[in-house]
A and B are shown apart, each in its own frame.
Chain A
């Protein structure tokens, strides 16, 4: 079993969803039940393989890549099929594998208009392949391909099943991310040509991420590193999204169908921050050092701007989208410190934001389904009309604003703390200022989330919906798809060590040759 997992585990976890999607392609579109069962079965099978991998993972050596597969792929450009799992990828892999089946269950009875469950679930499975592949790839070109594989399914998910303004939102999402990844690819190529073997001084011409992180930019002039890093900065920054590249996010989130928003918030945004942690920072330490104060600046602007944006929103989904901008700001602030403490906080923040904001979008979707609107002004009295739904919204909002004891806290608080003492060579005063600003951001976060709760959950139901019989409490399918996330919020809040112990060795390893050491 162990041997089998070692050789095939990661490949299976990447490609089972794709195989499932191909099988579904052969099933006639009218067989709704069969198609849904196939989709659920595929995503559960993937999750089972993932669980086996997690059980077999050697947690004592979480800093090293495990289950590595290294096979030839595109010889003409020295790009290889290399996949591996370490402590940084593990929580993100687990998050993806959990979220996708939950999304399938959530959409079981209501595939959003205009229907067509076949196409909807096929796209979701292709998305899963792309996301899992990105977290496991250890070759820059393989990473790039998986990074881009998610674009098309997400584009169609927004464009076909989205709201009123879906065409604008979907094309905007597509163009922004492609712009970023085009520049990112140029940076990858620059790394390919400029990386030299320190022993011989010859050009390596390699896309192997393991090798390039070990080199940590040796032999590349500091000024060049700054340019290469800039390309990746834009590429990953658009995906995160960082201020000022964030404008696609509120549109995409508002228009996307519920599960589209959930996947977008829970996993897709993490591809960007993961890229910073896995590629940009370790491979270009000097570039990272030069850019870190600017990343920190944009991060805190994002925190404040996102929070102020939230206060100004009249639409619940748009509000949650802006809160994503703020939360990802904390993640980026953690990364900008370039310390292992800060990056640990960032990765925890990624997982926590994934669970919490994913959950918030689930709740928003369910509210929309009952009230047919997300306009905060028209909502109210959720706690009287659908008490359990109201309490869940309250619980998740508390988690999102960073209440100690829930998962959100461990993403924000350590990131702020890390800004107190950034890595050597970074301007301490500047980062301490960021720390203060970010702390103000948490207050604002409490403000907008409590206000949201007050306006939607408390008070009396508005007259418009007072007698509506569509407003029911949490349904069975909703319970099934939400409980794992709710448990996660509480569990990781009480026992953050579950995640920190896994990621810490990997982060330390990654930074050992880079800026941290």
Chain B
């Protein structure tokens, strides 16, 4: 009797368990971490980072089995889609999360921080990203966004006795909540016109708007608000203002996480929205993306020129990098081939960017163990006393600048390729903007390189500038992983290009 009432009240949707296995694995390990913490108390601390990294790697297994299986899956009435695109992004999130755990291990263990909770938060945030990669529905998307944002707000304040860390978290939280509000307002407008939260239905509704069946202004406003909401997340100019302060104040491994994984999650949402939800309204999103991209590139790069702190510099360079990634979306609607080129370009960029940016932060973490600072001045003469770290940093910075044969060149190349491919004046113009900006960016990356190689460490630096810096094993592992990926992606780009050659348009009615 009771069971029949329950069945009446709640009809369980058909669930494809294989499809959501990566998410369940992450959830399971997160719960396990909590249990270990509750049962073993302090004794559980030691294994918490191991458990977290095991969880992230274990979640890779179902991702791989789904990839070899090859079939696209949709579950929860089309709100949740597993295709090549979402699998590639899930793999990027999981591996980036794994590298962040490697970076955090010694940092969190050595400071007076809550350890087990930190990894629980991290797994929860990664879970949000992994869900985001499959979300094809506004509500799922919003839940995924909050699932990744709320732990991230907390992690930013993890150094709770440090004023800057508190400032970082608070700023991030306030800006993030404001962005969520903007986003929700936009979503409500779209739901109002489409009568559905599924992106494919929204596409049908917004595409028809031009012939008068839906109020044009409302749809346009909805599209703009939703894109602006995610522009906060990816720290595109002029929605970037939280990034430098938050990056500087947050614990460095968390900064690495925010600058790579959470930015990538924002992009995943933007991509799903543009290529599925707003596909028919290229007249709205294309100019918007053009302006956002150009402003982010110029704004980020010009402000990065004046920075004296490496983390802040990377925050601004991250704004510019977001600009490069937004650029292909400004031409995405020109044709179906261009759309595929643009999507592949952004996905490629995200994968390569994850490797090189995490690598740069790994070096920052390693160097800060000696210098206790991220001021660019403290990098003077690094090459003379710690040549391996200096070479690694040079590789990552030059990769970010896009100098062949390091990974970044192929990422930028794919972007420019996508911009030129439709052969429109606006596309070519943005291609020129990308080219000019890579020259501006080179200036500040090369300046850091010459600090490390050319200058001598000053005698009154206040730290040992003779013996090489000792790097913890886990950070070394992160350096090797990201360094190998950065080099491999540059020399044999086919390795990454093969995986990122994806499409989202197959799900659309042509």
Identify the A interface with B (CB < 8 A).
Answer: 29, 72-77, 119, 141, 144-145, 148-149, 151-152, 155-156, 159-160, 166-167, 170-171, 174-175, 178-179, 182-183, 185-186, 189-190, 192-194
How far apart are the CA atoms of A340 and B297 in the complex, in Å? 44
B446 interface contact, C-beta 8 A: yes
Contact in complex: B413, A171 (CB < 8 Å): no
Chain B residues with CB under 8 Å of A175's CB are 439, 442-443, 446
Chain A residues with CB under 8 Å of B454's CB are 159-160, 166-167, 170
Residue of chain B at shortest CB distance from A224: B423
The 6 A-B residue pairs with the shortest CB-CB distance, nearest first, are A182-B435, A76-B497, A148-B404, A145-B404, A189-B420, A179-B439
Chain B residues with CB under 8 Å of A174's CB are 442, 446
Chain B residues with CB under 8 Å of A75's CB are 494, 497-498
Nearest chain A CB to B173 CB, angstrom units? 39
How far apart are the CA atoms of A322 and B455 in the complex, in Å? 29
B416 interface contact, C-beta 8 A: yes
How far apart are the CA atoms of A244 and B416 in the complex, in Å? 27
Chain B residues with CB under 8 Å of A119's CB are 387
Nearest chain B CB to A129 CB, angstrom units? 10
B192 interface contact, C-beta 8 A: no
20 contacts between A and B (CB under 8 A): A72-B494, A73-B494, A74-B494, A75-B498, A76-B493, A77-B413, A145-B404, A149-B405, A159-B449, A159-B450, A178-B403, A179-B439, A182-B435, A182-B436, A185-B416, A186-B428, A186-B431, A190-B428, A193-B420, A193-B421
Nearest chain A CB to B223 CB, angstrom units? 29
B438 interface contact, C-beta 8 A: yes
B432 interface contact, C-beta 8 A: yes
Which residue from A151, A160, A185 sits with its C-beta under 8 Å from B453? Answer: A160
The interface bits of chain B over 423-449 (1 if a CB of A lies within 8 angstroms of the residue's CB, else 0) are: 100001001100110110011001101
Interface residues on B, range: 35 or more
Contact in complex: B398, A171 (CB < 8 Å): no
Which residue from B420, B431, B432, B493 sits with its C-beta under 8 Å from A74? Answer: B493
Contact in complex: B420, A190 (CB < 8 Å): yes
Contact in complex: B497, A148 (CB < 8 Å): no
Chain B residues with CB under 8 Å of A193's CB are 420-421, 423
B344 interface contact, C-beta 8 A: yes
A77/B446 contact (C-beta < 8 A), A144-B404, A148-B404, A186-B431 known: no
Chain A residues with CB under 8 Å of B446's CB are 155, 170-171, 174-175
How far apart are the CA atoms of A373 and B129 in the complex, in Å? 62
- The main secondary structure of chain A at its interface with chain B is helix
Contact in complex: B438, A178 (CB < 8 Å): yes
Chain B residues with CB under 8 Å of A192's CB are 417
How far apart are the CA atoms of A160 and B435 in the complex, in Å? 27
Contact in complex: A183, B435 (CB < 8 Å): yes
Q: Which of A145, A159, A170, A175 has the most CB of B within 10 A?
A: A145
How far apart are the CA atoms of A77 and B413 in the complex, in Å? 10
A149/B450 contact (C-beta < 8 A), A74-B497, A186-B420, A193-B423 known: no
Nearest chain B CB to A256 CB, angstrom units? 13
Chain A residues with CB under 8 Å of B413's CB are 77, 141, 185
B201 interface contact, C-beta 8 A: no
Nearest chain A CB to B321 CB, angstrom units? 16
Nearest chain A CB to B199 CB, angstrom units? 26
A149/B494 contact (C-beta < 8 A), A167-B454, A175-B439, A186-B416 known: no
Chain B residues with CB under 8 Å of A156's CB are 449, 453
Q: Which of A166, A174, A185 has the most CB of B within 10 A?
A: A185
Assuming A77-B414, A119-B387, A171-B447, what are 5 further A-B pairs, CB within 8 angstroms? Answer: A74-B492, A77-B413, A148-B409, A174-B446, A179-B439
Which residue from B404, B442, B447, B449 sits with its C-beta under 8 Å from A149? Answer: B404
Residue of chain B at shortest CB distance from A133: B405
Q: Which B362-388 residues have a C-beta within 8 angstroms of A?
A: 383, 387
Chain A residues with CB under 8 Å of B403's CB are 148, 151-152, 178
Nearest chain A CB to B69 CB, angstrom units? 23
Q: Which B464-510 residues have a C-beta within 8 angstroms of A?
A: 492-494, 497-498, 501
Chain A residues with CB under 8 Å of B443's CB are 171, 175
Contact in complex: A189, B494 (CB < 8 Å): no
Contact in complex: B435, A186 (CB < 8 Å): yes
Nearest chain B CB to A515 CB, angstrom units? 25
Residue of chain A at shortest CB distance from B388: A25
Chain A residues with CB under 8 Å of B436's CB are 179, 182
Chain A residues with CB under 8 Å of B442's CB are 174-175, 178
Chain A residues with CB under 8 Å of B447's CB are 171
Contact in complex: A76, B416 (CB < 8 Å): no
Nearest chain B CB to A189 CB, angstrom units? 5
How far apart are the CA atoms of A437 and B262 in the complex, in Å? 62
Chain B residues with CB under 8 Å of A144's CB are 404
Residue of chain B at shortest CB distance from A171: B446
Contact in complex: A167, B450 (CB < 8 Å): yes
How far apart are the CA atoms of A192 and B494 in the complex, in Å? 18
Chain B residues with CB under 8 Å of A182's CB are 435-436, 438-439
How far apart are the CA atoms of A194 and B453 in the complex, in Å? 43
Nearest chain B CB to A31 CB, angstrom units? 15
